[in-house]
Amino acid sequence: DIQMTQSPSSLSASVGDRVTITCRASRSLTRYLNWYQLKPGKAPKLLIYAASSLHTGVPSRFSGSGSGTDFNFTISSLQPEDFAIYYCQQSYDSSLTFGQGTRLEIK
């Protein structure tokens, strides 16, 4: 299976900050990398698919970039509702795998 490594595992930031999360794959994904948001008591949400495509209805402050083995996820200006856990997930290989998650907390 393809291993996914996210960093950092946790992050403290303030409303209005720009934050970036990194995801590294154990082998090339071309651009088949997705990002999800998870909040307690709520269903996970797909935010970004295929590395940089914004899922329907997702605010434009969320963005993704990268290809191959290295990918970034950025929130340009944090809003109160963005404090959550974020996961990357590879979909290059049909045996799907997630990163370990990044907890984004209020500073």
Partner 1 sequence: QVQLVQSGSELKKPGASVKISCKASGYTFSNYALNWVRQAPGQGLEWMGWVNTNTGYPTYAQGFTGRFVFSLDTSVSTAYLEIRSLEAEDSALYYCARHEGFHYGMDVWGQGTTVIVS
Residues of this chain that bind partner 1 (CB under 8 A):
1, 32, 34, 36, 38, 42-46, 49-50, 55, 87, 89, 91-92, 94-101
Distance, in Å, from the CA atom of 24 to the CA atom of 107, rounded to the nearest integer, reads: 26
Looking at the DSSP assignment, which residues form a beta bridge with residue 74?
Answer: 20, 63
Q: Between 14 and 95, whose beta carbon lies closer to partner 1?
A: 95
Q: Provide the minimum distance between the beta carbon of 17 and partner 1 in the complex, in angstroms, as a whole number.
A: 24
Q: Provide the minimum distance between the beta carbon of 100 and partner 1 in the complex, in angstroms, as a whole number.
A: 5
Q: Provide the minimum distance between the beta carbon of 32 and partner 1 in the complex, in angstroms, as a whole number.
A: 5
- Return the SS3 of 96: coil
Q: Between 11 and 96, whose beta carbon lies closer to partner 1?
A: 96
Q: How far is CA 82 from the centre of its chain?
A: 12
Q: Between 17 and 52, whose beta carbon lies closer to partner 1?
A: 52
- Return the SS3 of 95: coil
Looking at the DSSP assignment, which residues form a beta bridge with residue 36?
Answer: 46, 87
